Amino acid sequence: MQKLFAFLVFIFCALTLYLTSSNMGMKWIARDRYSRVGAFGADKYLYGDLYGLTYLSKFKKVKDTNFVSMPAIDQKANSDTAKLFILGDSYLYSYFKEDPRYYVGINQVQFIRWSVANPVEINPYKNKKNILLIESVERNMLGLFNLNSVKARLDRAEAVNTMLNKRQKIAFFTSEIDRVIKENLYHQSLEANIEFAWFNFGFWESLKEFKADFNLNFFGRVDKEVAISKDQNFLYLAETINPAHAGSSFSDISEAQINTQVSQLNAIQDYYKARGFNEVIFSIIPNPVSVLKTENKPDNQLIQRIKLHPDFKGKLMDATEGLSKNASSNFFTSDSHWNQRGAKIWLDQFNTQLNRFVYLGN
């Protein structure tokens, strides 16, 4: 009997290891878990991604995961003349379908995620206006808004072939082999995957909340990735309020860094306009903490400093002003994203800019 029990435990552990170290396995587990409601369903994102890290009962509020409602856009006769390419993150793909009806004057839309597994080669259409929107949340933009990073998502093969000499290509090939070996020998997210597989069930929720509330009330501790706002009403990603982190709204960003970033944006625009795109638009979504103003201290004004820089030649869409009006109504309290209302504010502003370009030519 003991041998049988030991054998069953071994099979269970081996199956768990196999599934949690496989992308296909984790997709299957996640799809099954999120399709269920109740004790055997997953609760990690049901109440917001930051609740799913902390399990603080105060922030247990069901998150609306619906897409933003399709706007009633008055399309003009030549509305089929433009195609929109979007390179963006979850601030957009979690709120808007890949549907041109969201956008003024757009007949086709193609969305490419920053996290795309296989780079997508985008090519402008002939006899159409081609618009490239490059979007990122503020906390990530310094690492993403550079020409190499954009090429790595949109035309990586060309980037590698033109930018690497023979010695660099050998080093790149060697590093790729090393990466594959490491990924097969050690899965970097294995621990998190196992935790999800074993403990991300609804029936653990009360116990997790009790532990989280106890740690907060008696020791003042929350998950290291999360911070509670000074007014106690919002959860933030800790990196966005920690001045030591590059993506923080309160990090010290020098003028030299701003100059470098502006040069990168100009280079991206020049490159894609040379490839046949009629317009390149950048959009930086502000960190919630820089809009909600709960911390009672000035932020680094990163977006505005780039937008108003005298050497910046491009178009940077900044929705900070619109999001700041009734700001607490535009963001989830237990999630790192804006809500549908905040996303709609961004969309309306973006459509105003599209209207000026597609129909008015400026």
Residue spans per domain, the chain: 82-163+243-358
Residue, of 355 and 303, whose pLDDT is higher: 303
Q: How far apart are CA 240 and CA 323, in angstroms?
A: 17
The pLDDT score that the predictor gives to residue 280 is 96
Taking the C-alpha atoms of residue 227 and residue 239, their distance in angstroms, rounded to an integer, is: 9
**CATH class belonging to 82-163+243-358:** alpha beta
Most confident region among 5-14, 23-32, 54-63 by mean pLDDT? 54-63
How far is it, in rounded angstroms, from Cα 105 to Cα 279?
Answer: 14
Greater model confidence, 70 or 167: 70
As a whole number, the mean pLDDT across the chain is 81
User: 97: which residues sit within 8 A by CB, 6+ positions away?
Assistant: 67
CA-based radius of gyration for the chain: 23
Give the helix/strand (H/E) hosting 96: none
245-284 tens-digit pLDDT: 999 999 999 999 999 999 999 999 999 999 999 999 999 9
Task: Give the separation between CA 156 and CA 174, rounded to whole angstroms.
Answer: 17
pLDDT tens digits, residue range 206-256? 777 888 888 988 988 999 999 999 999 999 999 999 999 999 999 999 999
Per-residue pLDDT reduced to its tens digit, 164-192: 455 555 554 544 444 443 444 344 454 55
Q: Confidence class of residue 346 from pLDDT cuts 50, 70 and 90?
A: very high
- Residue 71: predicted pLDDT: 82
pLDDT at 35: 47
pLDDT band at 106 (very low <50, low <70, confident <90, very high): very high
Mean pLDDT throughout 286-298? 96
Beta strands in the chain (DSSP E): 82-88, 106-113, 129-137, 226-228, 235-237, 279-285, 315-317
Structural tokens at position 53 = 């890290």
Closest CA to 322 of 300, 346, 298, 292: 346
DSSP state of 202: G
Q: Are 212 and 54 in contact (CB under 8 A)?
A: yes
